[in-house]
Every structure is written in C-alpha cells, then in structure tokens.
Chains A and B, each alone.
Chain A
Amino acid sequence: MNRRSKRKFDVLVVGGGPAGMAAATRASECGLRVAIIDDNPALGGQIWRQGMQSTPDPDYSTWAMYVQSAGPELIVGSAFDQPSAATLAVEQADGTYEVAYDELILATGARERFLPFPGWTLPNVMGAGGLQAMVKSGLTVTGKRVLVAGTGPLLLAVAAYLRKHGADVIRICEQASWGSLARFTFGLLDQPRKLTQGLSLKRQLAAVPFTPNSWPVAARGQSAVESVTISRNGRLEDIPCDYLACGFHLVPNLELPHLLGCRIQNGCVHVDEFQRTTAANILCAGEPTGIGGVELALVEGQIAGFTAAGRFSEAKDLFGERKRLKQFARKLDQAFRLRPELRSLPSDDTIICRCEDVLYSQLRRYASWRTAKLQTRCGMGPCQGRICGPATRFLLKWDPDSVRPPIFPVRVESLAFAASPVIPEQPTLTGGL
C-alpha cells in the first residue's frame, strides 16, 4: 500500500452543501488554505442538487460563484476515520489519503427520516426527497401517479417539482394537524421570504389535494407498490399509485461529529455562539446543529468560517441574523413534530432494519439500541443504522449511542490503510521499558 504524504490545510470543511460552501468561502477570503471534502463531485449538497436539464437555484449560483472566486480546493471523497489527532482518513476513487487540519468545520447536512409501516420496503416506495433526487438524476415520472406523504415543508417542494416534471401528483398527505400548520403559516409573517416561497408552492399545487391529519398506514403491491392505504381524520382510504414518495422531515447526519467526540444533545451537535463544538478545533454549521433550512445554514457556515480564521468581529456581525433564523427553526420543529399515533404504524411482521430484515416483533423485546444490535444485527448492515436508527429512536425511544470507524463501508485497502502504523523513515531501535 502506497501511503501518499499527508496533506494539510488551515481549514478543512466536511460537506459541500450551503453551510460548507459558506464556511469555505469566508475562511478562504480571509487568506487561509481551505479544502472542502464531499463525496459528490458537484457542490450544493442535497438541497441544491442539480437536475440534468433544469436551471440551478439562483442562491446556489450566487454561492457557487463566491466559492469559485474564493478558491478552496474540492476533495471528492468520504471521510471515514480519524487515524490520528487533527487528521481524517478520506477514501477517494483512486485511493485512500490522510488530510490534516488546524481547524475542522463539520457541515455534514441532514437526511430524510423514514418511518416503517407495512409495505414500506416495496420497490417504488421512496423518500420524498429520495424520489426528487431520482428524478433529478434521470428517472422519468411523466404520467406516473405519485402519492406524496409524510411531514415537513419538503413535501410541498417535492410535489411541485414532480408536477413540473410531468407526474400526476394525486395527493399530499401531511401528518401534522390543520392547527399546527395554521400556526406555522401565521408565524411566517415575520419571514417574508419564506412566506412568499410557501405561497408560491401552494399556487403551483392548487390542483393537488393537500390533506393534513393524514399518513400512510400500508403499501401494497406484487413486485412494486400498486396502492397505499392512508389514514385521514381517522378513516382509512385506499389510493392506487405508481410511486409513494414518503419522508418524515429531516434528521442531522451525526456520524462524523459523534466519531470525533463532539457532544451531541437532543439529537443535535452542541455548539457555542461561534459554532464551536465541545471538541478542540472542531466547528459545526448547518443542519447538524438543528434542522433549520438553507438560509440558517448559510449564516452558520459564514460564522464558522470567520471563527476558524480568527475573525471574531465579522462572525459576531451575523449573530442577529442567525437568531432570527433560529426562531424559524423552532417553529419548524413544533409544527412538524411527529404525532404519537405514528408509533403504532409498524405491525409485528414489519421490517424495521432493511439491511438485515429485522422485524418489529424481534426488536420490541429489547431495552436498548445496543442490546438489540448485539441480539438481532439491527443497524449492523451496510447503512450502519442510518435508516433504522432514527426510526427506532422515535418508535422505541432508543438512543443510537455508538459510532465506530469506518463510519461508512469502505474498501478493504482503506481499512488496511487506516490501521497501518506510520512507518518512520529511519528504522529506530527501542530499548527496554
């Protein structure tokens, strides 16, 4: 194994979404040597993922231009381990490398939360953002009947996107109540930009029934989903469809912050006012510190970038803006909180861990995530609990509390790389103890 010399940056940013782009821009503008690591060759993260034939989001274009002129390096790869202090092991297409840093900014983003219900493992039952990402990457849905379900503002954005691409969106099922949605909308009055965005989406979706108090209870089909039973105001209804796009808001990606020893509190990375985590020289920005959307991620990213460069007064100038956007994050959290009835969605024979096909009846008898892992292999497949972890956190109130390297399945060569000691240039003789 060729161990290429370790590369070192003043500031290393993990994640090329809005928070990472903003952090890398500000740190680079302060004259530091900066790199962004992302496993996607294109910047923008999940929220600004580019479609094959669609025009990019204007905010993305603006920030892509800032990043380009500030000039951080882009490393395409996945950080999977910390082989030594202030160093990450990164797997790239052509090998595995060590990247060292003075300051590390974690901008690892979020993923959809999935809740298990009978039939959720059928092909063509996807995440809401999941189906959107698939359409952006070439799946055609023209004329296909799509049921959009789950919770969160993403559902409207996804439904509008799918309609624009020719899908017949037959309904949007939102588990939140009319009351909490009304309070949320009213609360947007001090966020004119978000209110305008929301109203514009509602206009585009004028022809699509939107039903609060409703959620999928079962999906059926032979080789793929053919119909979905929904519960709406306590009544069951069967809806034939070709795709079910179903996601229950977002959960932060905490694997790397966890591995690096950052304190996690209430499911989020704990940070101080300068976005510093409890781990030395590690900052965090965007969704991992609490789901709050693009604008908050951009502001937190800039604060982290300035802080990493020691420009505390520039960072402070953004505190007011962050406070305002944090209020929106709190409203999001309240409005789209999961209702307790969703805990009864899985039946005994519903698969919870899709990698290892572990049933709900097998899991329920255990008191903790750790015991269930040891006894049933739940969370021990290739996704390493990224899907069933958040689900069992909600269903069984378990705390998925352990992360081990590699935090991502990697090639055997990468494992060997991370485990091999650094060989000194000169052989050294060691004496007795």
Chain B
Amino acid sequence: MLEPVAITVNGVSLAVPRGTTVAAAVVLAGQPCRNSVSGQPRGPLCGMGICFECRVSINARLHSRSCQILCEQGMDVTTDE
C-alpha cells in the first residue's frame, strides 16, 4: 500500500493511497459529487476532465473537477456546493 493521505469528504475522514484523485475518493466514500440543476445525484462519468459531472468544492474552491485533482493531506472536500 502506498503512503496514505487523509482527507475529509463532507466532514467525514477518509484515508486513501497517495496518488488517488479526489473523484475516486468521493466514490469510495459512497457520495455523489453534485446534485444536478433538477436535483438528481451525479457522479463521475468520463474520468478524464471533460464531462464536469465530478465537480466538487475543494478547500472552499467551488466547481473543481475532482477527477483531475490528486488528494492532498488535510484536503477538505464538500460535495453538492
């Protein structure tokens, strides 16, 4: 196992191997990434930064494409922002 990184997803702590993207961590946490304009839960679709379905708030930065961002120690991730 690679060195773990601790983050929080909606306030719940989670340890993932270094190199894990935020999108993967959110799916592992069993959370949808966002609610759509009509209120449907959505998770990652394309995995390559094109569909924007995986956007979350990372350290209060809104609309971050979580599949393109690696987890860093202490990161605070909030879904449906």
In-complex Cβ contact of A139 among B2, B27, B41, B71 (8 A): B27
Residue numbers in B under 8 Å from A249 (CB-CB): none
Q: How many residues on chain A are close to B (CB under 8 Å)?
A: 38
24 contacts between A and B (CB under 8 A): A52-B17, A52-B20, A121-B40, A123-B27, A123-B41, A124-B43, A126-B46, A129-B46, A130-B47, A132-B47, A133-B48, A134-B24, A134-B44, A137-B19, A138-B17, A139-B27, A354-B45, A355-B37, A356-B37, A357-B37, A357-B38, A383-B50, A383-B51, A386-B50
* 6 closest A-B pairs by CB: A138-B20, A133-B47, A123-B43, A130-B47, A138-B24, A139-B24
Residue numbers in A under 8 Å from B52 (CB-CB): 355, 381-383, 409
Chain B residues close to A by CB (< 8 Å): 2, 16-17, 19-21, 23-25, 27-28, 32, 36-38, 40-53, 55, 63, 67-68, 71
What does the 1/0 interface line of A375-390 toward B look like (CB < 8 Å)?
A: 0000001110011000
Question: Chain A nearest CB: distance from B75 CB in Å?
Answer: 13
Interface of A, helix, strand, loop or mixed by DSSP? loop
Assembled-state Cα–Cα distance A408/B16 (Å): 30
Residue numbers in A under 8 Å from B43 (CB-CB): 123-124, 126, 224
In-complex Cβ contact of A386 among B20, B21, B51 (8 A): B51
Chain A residues close to B by CB (< 8 Å): 39-40, 46, 52-53, 111-112, 114, 121-127, 129-134, 137-140, 223-224, 351, 354-357, 381-383, 386-387, 409
Residue numbers in B under 8 Å from A355 (CB-CB): 37, 52
Question: Chain A nearest CB: distance from B68 CB in Å?
Answer: 7
Assembled-state Cα–Cα distance A355/B36 (Å): 7
Residue numbers in B under 8 Å from A140 (CB-CB): 28
Given A124-B43, A223-B41, A137 and B36 contact (CB-CB distance below 8 Å): no
Docked-complex contact B2 and A52, CB < 8 angstroms:
yes
Docked-complex contact B41 and A138, CB < 8 angstroms:
no
Residue numbers in A under 8 Å from B68 (CB-CB): 39-40
Residue of A nearest to B55 (CB): A382
Assembled-state Cα–Cα distance A223/B27 (Å): 12
